[in-house]
Structure 1
Amino acid sequence: MPITHNKELAAPPHYPVLDGLRGVAAIIVVTFHLTEPLGTGHLDILVNHGYLAVDFFFLLSGFVIGYAYDDRWYKMSVSGFLKRRIARLQPMVVLGVTLGAIGFYFTDSTIWPLIHTVPVWKMLLVLLIGYTILPVPLSLDIRGWQEMHPLNSVGWSLFFEYIANLLYALWIRKFSNTALCILVGLSAIALAHLAITNGDVSGGWTLNVEQVRIGLTRTMFPFSAGLLLSRVAKPTGRIRNAFFWCSLLLAILLYMPRLGGAAHLWLNGLYESVCILLLFPLIVYLGASSAEQTHRESSLCRFLGDLSYPLYLVHYPLVYFYVAWISNHPGTTLAQAWPYALLILLGGIVLAYAALKWYDEPVRKWLRRKLV
């Protein structure tokens, strides 16, 4: 549906299937994090490509932001756009980091033996920096995983989301479609090179040159490609059961076992390149081309879309307890771990829904009044 110039900055209609797909991807991220500690390394994780959901999020973000804001700049300033993004993203960032801080000293584990030696002032300093979504240096890595957000691991992707939003507001929004195509092409080459030479695109959560390069590479192609797709795609509105088929395809891609093994890392990198460069944009296009949904489908997509961002931000503080339990019980199998994993998944969903209704929505409403 094209966006027309209106006198007011009312949000345009959105694509409900894309909301639902964001929720599906968020649930897959949780299952990835729950199976990750059961593997012996990055080659044998059960949900081996679950981290690609982050790249899918970046693509969705570029598409939705381009669709929602590209034609509104005649009535909107850069500061106005950034205030809208802060009001949308920051409340859950604050809650997610707070939950991580509350649980920090309670995650006794053989892999975090020094947690209880971290002075409270240092943890509080990391907490306050985390509220800003700015990364912390390795000297403040109080957990020992070399993370830029050690109280809530997933914060790294929000840091790069903010970078993409800032670049869009200051620079990329002004690109012609030709210039945007060039950016998409160059960033596609960079991403394929990263994936094929490294064997995957995993990374981006440490504040050093190499990891920041990985994070920027993972962000720039999907975000700019989503933006380009929002400008040039002509969704048909004719695909029936689009949510089911797109969810199935996304799940197959993210649950695919790792390819090539240690001997042929490039093969897995090629697979991930095809997923991010070709198949994820196809899924977004198909989702945007959905025919009119039934009331049940629409309600499901709305629920999953509303749940997705809170779930992504609150689940990892719970996962820290699960990882600690796994590390304290060496040799734990999937058969032994799945009840605890299911409890974390369901608990994360309940916590996310409570956070959405009792915290995120009211705070966002208040921020929009104050900032926007």
Structure 2
Amino acid sequence: MNNDSLSAKPHYPILDGLRGVAAIIVVTFHLTEPLGTGHLDILVNHGYLAVDFFFLLSGFVIGYAYDDRWHNMTIGTFFKRRIERLQPMVVLGMVLGAIGFYFTDSTIWPLIHTIPLWKMLLVLLIGCTILPVPLALDIRGWQEMHPLNSVGWSLFFEYIANILYAIGIRKLSKTALGLLVLIAAVALAHLAITSPAGDVSGGWTLNAEQVRVGITRTMYPFFAGLLLSRTAKPTHIKHAFLGCSFLIASVLYMPRIGGTDHVWMNGVYESVCIIIVFPLIVYLGASGVIHTQAERRICKFLGDISYPLYLVHYPLVYFYVAWISNHQGVTLVQAWPSALLILLGGITLAYASLKWYDEPVRKWLRTKLG
């Protein structure tokens, strides 16, 4: 997920706002996830689909921002700008995860107290590059690419999509890109419908099966977003922010479909959401009209905190998950005050990170990298 924009072009403030809405829903998903017993009964059941929405938004914004600039921009310049935008918060998220690591020792992560400091610091160093760590360096025990900040996996695939775009896919005609997107859509639907759990959840482990999930989840939405940026002609739609926010929340908060007997039905639902509904939401958001200064400020605030919130919330969630695992039987009624504190604390930390770290570091990197 990212927030590239060009001052010379019209901006899409509603898309910024929707990115923030989706980021907040991701946090609520991660806060309700440990209270469920599995995929079927998580309160925010489809919250993980926000990642697929982020990929689609990223593809749209990358196409809009860069497609017409390659006549005077090199691949190196493109990568410098992406690193400037993405990497500072990646580093901060990993550092926060490292700071809290030894304080989240719990029954769910019995490995933590056995991990030597040098090994944790090595994982931190690798994590700051966003490269995935091998399973031999799984210091938490969840088989994650980024054990210090779980959400790093999606940034790894975001970079892969950016690389594919820059080295070749940007040159494809609309027809060729459309064919690629169609193939990617079929692969995504096949994954969702045939997976054992009947969903697209996954992509955060460095093994063949999970890397396939990550690539499949990235290819369709990112390049569908790119295609949308090239083909869509936004109109003027009233109340788009409110309507699109309701739509994205409805999709992500939708309960599980099909139960244990018909898991494929949930796969069909997720395929329709990612392949059809998400592009529709982005199109409507791009077509939307801001009516009031208050709405503009809300969209700006949500857009500003979206990426920092995504990167800093999970180091806080680790404490919450540890607390729940150490107090078996915690209910939603008992957990919601702590969950609300994590949510509000995450938003506050995200805004502080933006103003005191991310923006100054990006400004410094622009002067250094040129």
Deviations 1:203-261, CA, capped at 9 Å, x for gaps:
0000000000000000000000000000000000x211110000000000000001001
Does 1:268 pair with 2:238?
no
Q: Alignment partner for residue 286 of structure 1, among 278, 284, 302?
A: 284
* Selected match of 1:153 from 150, 153, 178: 150
Contact in 1 for aligned 2:241/2:288 (Cα 8 Å) = yes
Residue 226 of structure 2 corresponds to: 227
Task: Give the superposition deviation at 1:113.
Answer: 1.3
Q: 1:74 maps to what in 2?
A: 71
| CA distance in 1: counterparts of 2:291 and 2:78, whole angstroms | 31
Q: Which amino acid in structure 2 is aligned with residue 275 of structure 1?
A: C
Task: Show the counterpart of 1:138.
Answer: 135
- Other-structure match for 1:4: none
RMSD (CA atoms): 0.8
Superposition TM-score, scaled by structure 2 size: 0.97
The answer (yes or no) to whether the contact 1:60–1:226 under 8 Å persists in 2 is: yes
Question: Which residue type is aligned with residue 13 of structure 1?
Answer: P
Q: Could you tell me how far apart the structure 2 residues matched to 1:114 and 1:361 are?
A: 36
Matches within 5 A, 1:327-346: 327-346=325-344
Q: Does 1:125 align with 2:113?
A: no
Shift of 1:369: 1.3
1:11–1:68 Cα contact (<8 Å) kept:
no
Q: Following TM superposition, by how much is the alpha carbon of 1:11 offset from its aligned partner in structure 2, in angstroms?
A: 5.2
* 2:246 partner amino acid: L
* Distance in 1 (alpha carbons) for counterparts of 2:256 and 2:241: 26
The AA in structure 2 aligned to 1:76 is M
CA distance in 2, matches of 1:326, 1:334: 10
User: 1:213 matched to which residue of 2?
Assistant: 212
After superposing the two structures, state which structure 1 stretch, 71-80 or 111-120, moved more.
111-120
What amino acid is the match of 2:310? Answer: Y
Equivalent residue of 2:68, what SS?
coil
The structure-2 alpha-carbon separation of the partners of 1:315 and 1:45, relative to structure 1 and needing over 3 Å to count, comes to same
Structure-2 separation of matches of 1:282 and 1:243 = 13
* Alignment-mate amino acid for residue 96 of structure 2: L
Residue 94 of structure 1: aligned partner: 91
1-structure distance, mates of 2:99, 2:132: 19
Listed as ranges, the matches of 1:1-372 within 5 Å are: 12-198=9-195, 199-236=198-235, 238-372=236-370
Equivalent-residue separation in structure 2 for 1:24 and 1:10 (angstroms):
24
Shift of 1:10: 5.6
CA distance in 2: counterparts of 1:114 and 1:211, whole angstroms: 22
Shift of 1:12: 2.6
Deviation per CA, 1:70-124, whole angstroms, max 9, x where unpaired? 0000010000000000000000000000000000000121011120110000000
Q: Quick one: percent identity of the two aligned structures?
A: 80
Alignment match, 2:3? none
- Residue identity matched to 2:367: R
Provide the TM-score with structure 1 as the length reference. Answer: 0.97
CA contact (8 A) 2:14 2:290 kept: no
Residue 291 of structure 1 and its aligned partner are, at CA, apart by: 2.1
Amino acid at match of 2:13: P
CA apart distance, 1:293:
3.0
- Alpha-carbon deviations, 1:290-331, whole Å to 9, x = none? 124311111110100000000000000000000000000111
